[in-house]
Structure 1
Amino acid sequence: MKITHATTWIVGNPWKNWLFVRLDTDRPGLYGIGEGTINGFAKTTEAAVHELAGRYEGMDPFQIETILQRMSRDLYTEGGQIHMNAVAAIETACWDIIGKETGHPIYDLIGGRYHESLPAYANGWYAGPRTAESFSERAQLVIDKGYKALKFDPFGAAWRTMSPEDRHLSIDIVRAVRETVGPDV
Protein backbone atom coordinates (compact mmCIF):
# COMPACT_ATOMS: atom_id res chain seq x y z
CA MET A 1 0.00 0.00 0.00
CA LYS A 2 1.21 3.51 -0.82
CA ILE A 3 0.15 7.06 -0.02
CA THR A 4 -0.73 8.66 -3.34
CA HIS A 5 -1.99 12.15 -2.63
CA ALA A 6 -2.84 14.70 0.07
CA THR A 7 -5.85 16.97 0.01
CA THR A 8 -6.26 19.77 2.55
CA TRP A 9 -9.22 21.80 3.75
CA ILE A 10 -9.30 24.90 5.88
CA VAL A 11 -12.62 25.05 7.70
CA GLY A 12 -13.70 28.46 8.96
CA ASN A 13 -14.31 28.89 12.66
CA PRO A 14 -14.78 32.17 14.53
CA TRP A 15 -12.00 31.42 17.04
CA LYS A 16 -9.43 29.79 14.76
CA ASN A 17 -9.63 28.04 11.42
CA TRP A 18 -9.25 24.27 11.40
CA LEU A 19 -6.93 22.47 9.00
CA PHE A 20 -7.81 18.94 7.90
CA VAL A 21 -5.66 16.64 5.77
CA ARG A 22 -6.83 13.65 3.75
CA LEU A 23 -4.22 11.14 2.62
CA ASP A 24 -5.36 8.91 -0.23
CA THR A 25 -3.82 5.52 -0.91
CA ASP A 26 -3.52 3.28 -3.94
CA ARG A 27 -6.32 1.17 -2.43
CA PRO A 28 -9.64 2.46 -3.81
CA GLY A 29 -11.67 4.15 -1.10
CA LEU A 30 -9.00 3.81 1.60
CA TYR A 31 -7.88 7.15 2.98
CA GLY A 32 -7.04 8.74 6.31
CA ILE A 33 -7.98 12.05 7.88
CA GLY A 34 -5.69 14.10 10.11
CA GLU A 35 -5.97 17.51 11.74
CA GLY A 36 -3.26 20.17 11.99
CA THR A 37 -4.85 23.26 13.48
CA ILE A 38 -2.68 26.03 14.88
CA ASN A 39 -3.76 29.51 15.91
CA GLY A 40 -3.42 31.97 13.06
CA PHE A 41 -1.36 29.84 10.67
CA ALA A 42 -3.80 27.52 8.88
CA LYS A 43 -2.64 28.52 5.38
CA THR A 44 1.03 28.28 6.34
CA THR A 45 0.53 24.84 7.90
CA GLU A 46 -1.47 23.79 4.84
CA ALA A 47 1.46 24.83 2.64
CA ALA A 48 3.81 22.81 4.86
CA VAL A 49 1.65 19.69 4.41
CA HIS A 50 2.04 20.00 0.63
CA GLU A 51 5.70 20.99 0.83
CA LEU A 52 6.37 17.78 2.76
CA ALA A 53 4.60 15.63 0.14
CA GLY A 54 7.86 14.32 -1.30
CA ARG A 55 8.61 12.89 2.13
CA TYR A 56 5.42 10.80 2.45
CA GLU A 57 3.84 10.27 -0.98
CA GLY A 58 4.77 6.84 -2.29
CA MET A 59 5.39 5.60 1.26
CA ASP A 60 3.54 2.79 3.03
CA PRO A 61 1.34 4.46 5.70
CA PHE A 62 2.13 1.53 8.03
CA GLN A 63 5.73 2.78 8.14
CA ILE A 64 4.87 5.73 10.37
CA GLU A 65 8.26 5.99 12.08
CA THR A 66 10.09 6.11 8.75
CA ILE A 67 7.69 8.73 7.43
CA LEU A 68 8.14 10.83 10.59
CA GLN A 69 11.92 10.62 10.32
CA ARG A 70 11.79 11.65 6.65
CA MET A 71 9.67 14.68 7.56
CA SER A 72 11.81 15.79 10.50
CA ARG A 73 15.24 14.26 11.04
CA ASP A 74 16.06 13.99 7.34
CA LEU A 75 15.33 17.71 6.91
CA TYR A 76 17.90 18.54 9.62
CA THR A 77 15.44 20.84 11.34
CA GLU A 78 13.48 20.97 14.54
CA GLY A 79 10.69 22.45 12.47
CA GLY A 80 8.84 24.54 15.00
CA GLN A 81 5.10 24.64 15.60
CA ILE A 82 3.94 25.05 12.02
CA HIS A 83 6.13 22.25 10.70
CA MET A 84 5.23 19.90 13.55
CA ASN A 85 1.48 20.59 13.18
CA ALA A 86 1.77 19.60 9.53
CA VAL A 87 3.71 16.47 10.55
CA ALA A 88 1.10 15.65 13.21
CA ALA A 89 -1.75 15.95 10.70
CA ILE A 90 0.03 13.61 8.30
CA GLU A 91 0.86 11.15 11.09
CA THR A 92 -2.74 11.11 12.33
CA ALA A 93 -3.98 10.46 8.80
CA CYS A 94 -1.58 7.50 8.58
CA TRP A 95 -2.93 6.11 11.86
CA ASP A 96 -6.46 6.55 10.49
CA ILE A 97 -5.52 4.53 7.39
CA ILE A 98 -3.98 1.78 9.53
CA GLY A 99 -7.04 1.70 11.77
CA LYS A 100 -9.38 1.38 8.81
CA GLU A 101 -7.23 -1.30 7.19
CA THR A 102 -6.93 -3.39 10.37
CA GLY A 103 -10.39 -2.70 11.74
CA HIS A 104 -9.08 -1.18 14.96
CA PRO A 105 -9.62 2.27 16.47
CA ILE A 106 -6.49 4.41 16.71
CA TYR A 107 -6.45 4.22 20.50
CA ASP A 108 -5.97 0.43 20.26
CA LEU A 109 -3.07 0.93 17.86
CA ILE A 110 -1.22 3.33 20.15
CA GLY A 111 -1.51 1.51 23.44
CA GLY A 112 -5.14 0.75 24.16
CA ARG A 113 -8.04 2.33 25.93
CA TYR A 114 -7.22 3.79 29.33
CA HIS A 115 -10.62 5.24 30.27
CA GLU A 116 -14.10 3.95 29.53
CA SER A 117 -15.36 7.51 29.35
CA LEU A 118 -14.04 11.03 29.81
CA PRO A 119 -15.95 13.95 31.24
CA ALA A 120 -16.52 16.89 28.93
CA TYR A 121 -16.21 20.50 29.95
CA ALA A 122 -18.11 23.40 28.44
CA ASN A 123 -16.09 26.03 26.60
CA GLY A 124 -17.09 28.97 24.44
CA TRP A 125 -20.31 29.48 26.40
CA TYR A 126 -19.52 32.95 27.73
CA ALA A 127 -19.87 35.14 24.63
CA GLY A 128 -21.71 38.33 25.38
CA PRO A 129 -21.25 41.29 27.68
CA ARG A 130 -18.23 41.11 29.97
CA THR A 131 -20.15 41.53 33.18
CA ALA A 132 -20.45 39.33 36.24
CA GLU A 133 -24.21 39.11 35.67
CA SER A 134 -23.86 37.95 32.07
CA PHE A 135 -21.27 35.31 32.95
CA SER A 136 -23.44 34.11 35.82
CA GLU A 137 -26.55 33.79 33.63
CA ARG A 138 -24.67 31.96 30.89
CA ALA A 139 -22.97 29.64 33.39
CA GLN A 140 -26.38 28.63 34.73
CA LEU A 141 -27.55 27.78 31.20
CA VAL A 142 -24.53 25.51 30.77
CA ILE A 143 -25.08 23.81 34.13
CA ASP A 144 -28.74 23.29 33.20
CA LYS A 145 -27.50 21.28 30.19
CA GLY A 146 -25.72 18.89 32.55
CA TYR A 147 -22.11 20.02 32.41
CA LYS A 148 -20.07 19.52 35.57
CA ALA A 149 -17.05 21.56 34.44
CA LEU A 150 -16.69 24.96 32.76
CA LYS A 151 -13.77 26.64 31.07
CA PHE A 152 -13.85 30.37 30.59
CA ASP A 153 -11.74 33.48 30.23
CA PRO A 154 -12.76 36.23 32.65
CA PHE A 155 -9.96 38.55 31.51
CA GLY A 156 -11.38 39.85 28.23
CA ALA A 157 -8.79 41.46 25.99
CA ALA A 158 -6.21 41.83 28.77
CA TRP A 159 -2.77 40.55 27.89
CA ARG A 160 0.24 40.59 30.18
CA THR A 161 -0.97 43.60 32.15
CA MET A 162 -4.36 44.61 33.48
CA SER A 163 -5.73 47.83 34.82
CA PRO A 164 -6.99 47.67 38.41
CA GLU A 165 -10.55 48.00 37.06
CA ASP A 166 -10.11 45.02 34.73
CA ARG A 167 -8.53 42.97 37.50
CA HIS A 168 -11.43 43.68 39.86
CA LEU A 169 -14.00 42.92 37.14
CA SER A 170 -12.26 39.62 36.38
CA ILE A 171 -12.36 38.67 40.06
CA ASP A 172 -16.06 39.61 40.21
CA ILE A 173 -16.76 37.43 37.16
CA VAL A 174 -15.02 34.40 38.68
CA ARG A 175 -16.82 34.96 41.99
CA ALA A 176 -20.22 35.26 40.26
CA VAL A 177 -19.68 32.08 38.26
CA ARG A 178 -18.57 30.15 41.37
CA GLU A 179 -21.60 31.38 43.33
CA THR A 180 -23.88 30.34 40.46
CA VAL A 181 -22.49 26.87 39.81
CA GLY A 182 -21.71 25.94 43.40
CA PRO A 183 -18.75 24.04 44.88
CA ASP A 184 -19.22 20.75 42.98
CA VAL A 185 -18.66 22.13 39.47
Structure 2
Amino acid sequence: MSASPGRLIIYKDKVILDNPCTQHFFGEITPENLHPYSHNPTLCKFMIQLGRFDELGSGVRNINKYLPLYSKGAKPVFKEDRQYFQLVLPLAGPVSSNSPKSSKKSSQKSSQKIVLLMSENPDITIAQLSKKIGISDRSIKKHIAFLQSQNRVKRIGPDKGGHWEVLE
Protein backbone atom coordinates (compact mmCIF):
# COMPACT_ATOMS: atom_id res chain seq x y z
CA MET A 1 0.00 0.00 0.00
CA SER A 2 1.18 3.51 -0.81
CA ALA A 3 2.06 6.02 1.90
CA SER A 4 0.17 8.69 -0.07
CA PRO A 5 -2.69 10.42 1.72
CA GLY A 6 -6.31 10.01 0.75
CA ARG A 7 -7.56 13.03 -1.20
CA LEU A 8 -10.89 14.76 -1.71
CA ILE A 9 -10.83 17.01 -4.78
CA ILE A 10 -13.83 19.21 -5.55
CA TYR A 11 -14.41 20.55 -9.07
CA LYS A 12 -17.38 22.47 -10.48
CA ASP A 13 -18.70 19.40 -12.29
CA LYS A 14 -17.48 16.50 -10.09
CA VAL A 15 -16.01 15.40 -6.79
CA ILE A 16 -13.12 12.92 -6.75
CA LEU A 17 -12.08 10.88 -3.76
CA ASP A 18 -9.00 8.74 -4.08
CA ASN A 19 -7.45 6.58 -1.46
CA PRO A 20 -4.29 4.47 -1.54
CA CYS A 21 -5.06 0.77 -1.31
CA THR A 22 -3.82 -2.74 -1.80
CA GLN A 23 -5.15 -3.93 -5.15
CA HIS A 24 -7.79 -6.67 -5.07
CA PHE A 25 -9.64 -5.78 -8.25
CA PHE A 26 -8.62 -3.93 -11.39
CA GLY A 27 -10.98 -1.59 -13.24
CA GLU A 28 -14.44 -0.23 -12.61
CA ILE A 29 -16.38 -1.50 -9.60
CA THR A 30 -20.17 -1.79 -9.85
CA PRO A 31 -22.73 -3.14 -7.37
CA GLU A 32 -22.91 -6.25 -9.58
CA ASN A 33 -19.18 -7.08 -9.50
CA LEU A 34 -18.53 -5.78 -5.97
CA HIS A 35 -16.52 -8.05 -3.67
CA PRO A 36 -16.23 -5.98 -0.47
CA TYR A 37 -12.94 -5.72 1.37
CA SER A 38 -11.21 -2.92 3.22
CA HIS A 39 -9.25 -0.71 0.81
CA ASN A 40 -7.55 1.01 3.72
CA PRO A 41 -7.61 -1.10 6.92
CA THR A 42 -6.35 1.78 9.08
CA LEU A 43 -9.14 4.10 7.92
CA CYS A 44 -11.65 1.26 8.21
CA LYS A 45 -10.66 0.55 11.83
CA PHE A 46 -10.90 4.28 12.65
CA MET A 47 -14.41 4.56 11.15
CA ILE A 48 -15.57 1.44 13.03
CA GLN A 49 -14.33 2.96 16.29
CA LEU A 50 -16.23 6.17 15.51
CA GLY A 51 -19.39 4.17 14.86
CA ARG A 52 -19.59 5.56 11.29
CA PHE A 53 -19.47 2.27 9.50
CA ASP A 54 -22.35 0.06 8.33
CA GLU A 55 -20.68 -2.83 6.57
CA LEU A 56 -18.05 -3.35 3.89
CA GLY A 57 -19.49 -2.43 0.48
CA SER A 58 -22.47 -0.44 1.80
CA GLY A 59 -20.97 2.82 0.49
CA VAL A 60 -20.88 1.54 -3.10
CA ARG A 61 -24.50 0.38 -2.89
CA ASN A 62 -25.76 3.53 -1.13
CA ILE A 63 -23.96 5.98 -3.43
CA ASN A 64 -25.32 4.17 -6.50
CA LYS A 65 -28.79 4.27 -4.96
CA TYR A 66 -28.88 7.88 -3.69
CA LEU A 67 -26.58 9.97 -5.94
CA PRO A 68 -29.13 10.09 -8.81
CA LEU A 69 -31.65 11.58 -6.36
CA TYR A 70 -29.31 14.43 -5.40
CA SER A 71 -27.64 15.02 -8.73
CA LYS A 72 -30.17 14.20 -11.43
CA GLY A 73 -28.88 11.66 -13.93
CA ALA A 74 -25.46 11.36 -12.28
CA LYS A 75 -23.80 7.96 -12.13
CA PRO A 76 -20.87 7.40 -9.77
CA VAL A 77 -17.69 5.73 -11.00
CA PHE A 78 -15.72 3.49 -8.64
CA LYS A 79 -12.32 2.40 -9.97
CA GLU A 80 -9.37 0.54 -8.63
CA ASP A 81 -5.90 0.36 -10.13
CA ARG A 82 -2.54 -0.78 -8.82
CA GLN A 83 -2.25 1.87 -6.13
CA TYR A 84 -5.55 3.70 -5.70
CA PHE A 85 -9.22 3.22 -5.12
CA GLN A 86 -11.01 6.15 -6.77
CA LEU A 87 -14.56 7.43 -6.58
CA VAL A 88 -15.79 10.03 -9.08
CA LEU A 89 -19.10 11.70 -8.25
CA PRO A 90 -20.36 13.71 -11.23
CA LEU A 91 -22.44 16.74 -10.35
CA ALA A 92 -25.20 17.11 -12.93
CA GLY A 93 -26.42 20.67 -13.30
CA PRO A 94 -25.31 23.68 -11.30
CA VAL A 95 -23.77 23.06 -7.89
CA SER A 96 -25.64 25.99 -6.36
CA SER A 97 -29.21 27.08 -6.91
CA ASN A 98 -28.08 30.70 -6.68
CA SER A 99 -27.95 31.80 -10.28
CA PRO A 100 -27.01 35.46 -10.76
CA LYS A 101 -30.69 36.38 -11.28
CA SER A 102 -31.99 34.51 -8.22
CA SER A 103 -29.05 35.80 -6.16
CA LYS A 104 -29.86 39.39 -7.13
CA LYS A 105 -33.55 38.88 -6.29
CA SER A 106 -32.77 37.32 -2.90
CA SER A 107 -30.32 40.17 -2.21
CA GLN A 108 -33.05 42.72 -2.98
CA LYS A 109 -35.50 40.84 -0.74
CA SER A 110 -32.95 40.79 2.10
CA SER A 111 -32.39 44.54 1.73
CA GLN A 112 -36.16 45.15 1.77
CA LYS A 113 -36.52 43.03 4.90
CA ILE A 114 -33.70 44.96 6.60
CA VAL A 115 -35.37 48.31 5.81
CA LEU A 116 -38.73 47.01 7.04
CA LEU A 117 -37.27 45.64 10.29
CA MET A 118 -35.35 48.89 10.88
CA SER A 119 -38.51 50.94 10.38
CA GLU A 120 -40.40 48.70 12.82
CA ASN A 121 -37.58 48.75 15.40
CA PRO A 122 -34.93 51.47 14.97
CA ASP A 123 -32.90 49.95 17.85
CA ILE A 124 -32.53 46.57 16.12
CA THR A 125 -29.01 45.14 16.13
CA ILE A 126 -27.08 43.42 13.34
CA ALA A 127 -27.26 40.15 15.29
CA GLN A 128 -31.05 40.47 15.57
CA LEU A 129 -31.36 41.28 11.85
CA SER A 130 -29.17 38.28 11.04
CA LYS A 131 -31.31 35.96 13.13
CA LYS A 132 -34.65 37.27 11.80
CA ILE A 133 -33.63 37.22 8.13
CA GLY A 134 -31.54 34.06 8.30
CA ILE A 135 -28.29 35.34 6.80
CA SER A 136 -24.87 35.96 8.37
CA ASP A 137 -23.86 39.08 10.27
CA ARG A 138 -21.35 39.78 7.52
CA SER A 139 -24.09 39.67 4.86
CA ILE A 140 -26.23 42.02 6.95
CA LYS A 141 -23.30 44.47 7.18
CA LYS A 142 -22.84 44.34 3.39
CA HIS A 143 -26.54 45.01 2.82
CA ILE A 144 -26.49 47.90 5.29
CA ALA A 145 -23.40 49.42 3.62
CA PHE A 146 -25.21 49.21 0.28
CA LEU A 147 -28.39 50.71 1.74
CA GLN A 148 -26.35 53.55 3.30
CA SER A 149 -24.59 54.22 -0.02
CA GLN A 150 -28.05 54.52 -1.62
CA ASN A 151 -29.17 56.92 1.16
CA ARG A 152 -31.95 54.53 2.17
CA VAL A 153 -30.88 54.11 5.82
CA LYS A 154 -28.69 56.07 8.21
CA ARG A 155 -27.08 55.21 11.54
CA ILE A 156 -27.67 57.82 14.23
CA GLY A 157 -25.22 57.58 17.12
CA PRO A 158 -22.70 54.87 18.00
CA ASP A 159 -22.98 51.14 17.28
CA LYS A 160 -23.99 50.59 20.89
CA GLY A 161 -26.72 52.95 21.99
CA GLY A 162 -27.50 54.39 18.57
CA HIS A 163 -30.45 53.70 16.28
CA TRP A 164 -31.40 53.36 12.61
CA GLU A 165 -33.22 55.96 10.60
CA VAL A 166 -35.01 54.83 7.45
CA LEU A 167 -34.77 57.58 4.79
CA GLU A 168 -37.15 56.21 2.15
Query: Which TM-score applies when normalising by structure 2?
Result: 0.24
Tell me which protein shows more strand as a share of its residues: 2
TM-score by length of 1: 0.23
Bigger Cα Rg: 2
Question: Which has the larger share of helix?
Answer: 1
